[in-house]
């Protein structure tokens, strides 16, 4: 299984907070997972292609592509605005 | 990166409840501390000209705490810090309420000022919190500010 | 230089009694304030290797208050400051006791951090206070530090 | 009259906190006043000739010489160490 979380504006736009996906080989990279999610149709494609989207794997920000394994937690969110 | 002796003096709290700065500051103080610098951030009545009625704060549980601890660890490696605390509230906050508190104690004031400002600049650009403003004319997610990214970049080592 | 509208929000107190930082900070807060930065200086148990039992603080009544007000005025002219307070204790203080508190409120954190640090750097080098340390091996007047003069010089305008 | 205050180490070394001097023409400048005080004999000469002595007239620091008038308040003190 792979767990995918969405936060803030991204969460609202997708109307989705958490996906728990049975493991598939196409989820073996972060880019592969994102492509699979974009293929779910609108609004998924537009929302996940927005500029400045932040991606985190196992609660650490990833700035390029990354290898994923079953059990990983991935998050997509907009630039942070706390403080 | 496990550093239990240092970690003890570095505290992080994500909470919905208000905080009492007097008690937080007292907990930071020890015999060798000559200086404590604190930052408190508040919900402002007005932002970019829009009247605000409340602020809603979302975060990424787990990652938020790890992110703040990593920022404190980095500050403690770069400056002489005796103890440091970050408290950040989440949920719905009214205008005038405190949102965040950062306190740093040190032997001397230079380290305390610098480390406190560093923690705030990285918290603003790295810790996974998001603000949604509620006002008379509706609600909107805040956009990240370029000025915050520039402030954080000042701290990058060559 | 009479600026009554500004002066109202700038408070200076020289006192023997301890102070409560929570109350001082609350008095600085207003609806437009997004940030409050505070500095608290404490009597350290140890200074330059010598064990301290108490610190005695002397000042120049009248000149001290004028000097601190002038420093706050200058800070308010150079940065966007909503309100600022300086409290400085005099007399005999035990190890661990707070000596000085500087608080600055501003719309944004950059101005609050900078103005607070500026006030402390000038207080250290211009306000007429003198510290005498009492320790196991006798008493001595503290010497001014070159590092404090250098910190204050950083703020000089060209 | 002219009022002269001493603080901290200077006060202790002179064993004097406050002088109230009847006005004399030789007090017409800060340097003139200081010379007159130094002539009071030891420890006055040594203490007032110490390097880094700060001089204030009417509660404002003066870095060179200054004109004095009857009623002025002058202070001599070591570099400040508060905060």
Residues of chain C whose beta carbon is less than 8 angstroms from a beta carbon of chain D are: 41, 57-60, 62-63, 66-67, 88, 99-100, 120, 123-132, 141-144
Within 8 A by CB and 6+ apart from B157, the residues are none
- Residue D42 dihedral angles phi and psi, to the nearest 5°: -75, 145
The class that CATH gives domain A2-77 is alpha beta
Q: Which residues of chain B does A82 touch, with a Cβ-Cβ cutoff of 8 Å? A: 57, 59, 88, 99-100, 123-124, 127-131
Q: Do B141 and A82 touch (CB under 8 A)?
A: no
- First-to-final CA distance of chain A: 34
Strand duo D73-77 + D2-6: pairing: parallel
- Which residues in C lie closer than 8 A to residue B96 (C-beta atoms)? 29, 31
Single out the residue of B7, B50, A21, B113 nearest to residue A34, CA to CA. A21
Measured in residues, chain A has a length of 83
Identify the pLDDT of residue B4. Answer: 43
Judged against a pLDDT cut of 80, whether residue C82 lies above it is answered with yes
Q: Is the pLDDT of residue B1 over 60?
A: no
Q: Quick check: C25 contacting B, CB < 8 Å? A: yes
Calculate the alpha carbon distances from C38 to B70, C41, C120 in Å. Answer: 24, 10, 10
* Long-range contact pairs involving D24-32 (C-beta distance under 8 Å, separation at least 24): D27/D2, D27/D68, D28/D67, D28/D68, D28/D69, D29/D65, D29/D66, D29/D67, D29/D68, D30/D55, D30/D57, D30/D62, D30/D65, D30/D66, D30/D68, D30/D74, D31/D65, D32/D68
List the structure tokens of C21.
């930082």
Average pLDDT of C9-18?
96
Domains and CATH numbers, chain B: 8-153 (3.90.1170.40)
Of C34, C38, C107, the CB nearest to B38: C38
User: Distance between CA atoms of B56 and B95, rounded to whole angstroms?
Assistant: 11
Task: Give the burial class of D71: count Cβ atoms within 10 A of its Cβ; 0-12 exposed, 13-18 middle, 19 or more buried.
Answer: exposed
Please tell me the predicted confidence (pLDDT) of residue B7. 55
Contact list, C21 vs chain B (CB under 8 Å): 21-22, 25
Per-residue pLDDT, averaged over B90-94, amounts to: 98
Taking each helix axis from N to C end, the angle separating C146-153 and C109-126, rounded to the nearest 10 degrees, works out to 140
Alpha-carbon distance of B88 to A58, in angstroms, equals 22
Q: Residue D74: enclosing H or E segment and its boundaries?
A: strand D73-77
Q: C84, C104 in Cβ contact below 8 A?
A: yes
Contact C41 B22 (CB under 8 A): no
Q: Is B129 helix (H, G, I), strand (E, B) or coil?
A: strand
Cβ-nearest to A81 among B62, B63, B142? B142
**Partner residue opposite C129 with nearest CB, options D12, D60, D81:** D81
Task: Write the ipTM.
Answer: 0.94
Reported as a pLDDT band with limits 50, 70 and 90, residue C1 is very low
* Mean confidence (pLDDT) of chain B: 93
Please tell me whether residue D18 adopts helix, strand or coil conformation: strand
In angstroms, what is the C-alpha Rg of chain A?
A: 12
Rounded to two decimals, the pTM is 0.95
Q: Does residue D28 belong to the interface with chain C, where contact is any CB pair within 8 Å? A: no
Q: What is the pLDDT of residue B111?
A: 98
With CA atoms as reference, the chain A residue closest to B40 would be: A83
Cα torsion B22, B27, B28, B31: sign: positive
Question: By the 8 A CB rule, do A20 and A3 touch?
Answer: yes
User: Which residue in the set D11, D56, D82 is minimally distant from C129, CB to CB?
Assistant: D82
State how far the Cα of C17 lies from the Cα of C92, in Å rounded to an integer: 10
Residues 71-100 of chain B with CB under 8 A from chain C are 95-96
For residue C5, pLDDT over 60 is answered with: no
Distances (CA, A) of D18 to A5, B151, D2, D4: 74, 51, 10, 6
Hey, is the C-beta of A79 within 8 angstroms of any chain B C-beta? yes
Do at least 3 CB pairs under 8 Å connect D with A?
A: no
More confident: B3 or A26: A26
Chain C CB contacts of B32 under 8 Å are 44-46
Helix (H, G, I), strand (E, B) or coil at D59: coil
For the stretch D15-40, pLDDT in tens is 999 999 999 999 999 999 999 999 99
Q: Average pLDDT of chain D?
A: 97
CB B60 within 8 A of CB A5: yes
Closest chain C CA to residue B28: C40
Q: How confident is the model at residue C156 (pLDDT cuts 50, 70, 90)?
A: very high
Each residue of D28-83: pLDDT tens digit? 999 999 999 999 999 999 999 999 999 999 999 999 999 999 999 999 999 999 99
Interface residue of B36, B54, B85 to substitute, partner C, most C CBs within 10 Å: B36
Say if residue C2's pLDDT is above 50.
no
Angle at alpha carbon of residue B9, lines to B7 and B11, rounded to 5°: 80
Mean pLDDT, residues A49-63: 96
Locate all alpha helices (DSSP H) within chain B, ordered by sequence. Answer: 4-7, 21-28, 63-78, 109-126, 146-153
Q: Which residues of B touch C32 (CB under 8 A)?
A: 44-46
Digit-coded pLDDT (tens) for A14-55: 999 999 999 999 999 999 999 999 999 999 999 999 999 999
Residue C27 CA, chain-centre distance (Å), reads: 17
Residue C77 CB neighbour total at 10 angstroms: 11
Which residues of D are less than 8 Å from C142 in CB distance? 81
Chains C and B touch (3+ CB pairs under 8 A): yes
D63–chain C Cβ distance below 8 A for any pair: no
Q: Which of C35, C44, C117 sits opposite B39 (nearest CB)?
A: C35
pLDDT digits (tens, 9 = 90+) for C113-151: 999 999 999 999 999 999 999 998 899 999 999 999 999
Q: Residue B38: its chain C contacts at CB < 8 A?
A: 37-38, 40
Closest CA to C83 of C38, C53, C50, C130: C38
pLDDT digits 0-9 by tens, B16-71 = 999 999 999 999 999 999 999 999 999 998 877 778 999 999 999 999 999 999 99
Over range C65-93, report the average pLDDT: 97
């Amino acid at each position: 299984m792979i767990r995918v979380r969405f936060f803030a504006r991204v969460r609202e736009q997708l109307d989705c907070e958490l996906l728990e996906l049975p493991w598939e080989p196409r989820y073996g990279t972060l880019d592969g997972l994102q492509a699979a999610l974009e293929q779910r149709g609108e609004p998924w494609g537009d929302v996940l292609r927005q500029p400045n989207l932040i991606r985190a794997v196992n609660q650490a920000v990833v700035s390029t592509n990354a290898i994923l394994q079953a059990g990983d937690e991935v998050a997509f969110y907009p630039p942070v605005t706390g403080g | 990166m496990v550093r239990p002796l240092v970690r003890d003096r570095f505290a992080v709290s994500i909470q919905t409840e208000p905080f009492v700065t007097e008690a937080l500051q007292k907990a930071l103080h020890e015999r060798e501390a000559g200086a404590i610098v604190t930052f408190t951030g508040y919900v402002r009545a007005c932002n970019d000209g829009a009247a605000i009625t409340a602020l809603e704060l979302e975060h990424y549980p787990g990652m938020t705490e790890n992110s703040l601890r990593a920022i404190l660890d980095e500050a403690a490696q770069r400056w002489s810090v005796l103890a440091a605390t970050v408290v950040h509230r989440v949920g719905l906050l009214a205008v005038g309420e405190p949102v965040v508190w950062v306190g740093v104690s040190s032997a001397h004031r230079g380290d305390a000022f610098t480390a406190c400002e560093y923690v705030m600049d990285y918290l603003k650009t790295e810790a996974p919190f998001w603000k949604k403003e509620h006002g008379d004319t509706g609600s909107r997610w805040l956009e990240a500010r370029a000025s915050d990214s520039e402030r954080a970049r000042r701290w990058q080592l060559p």
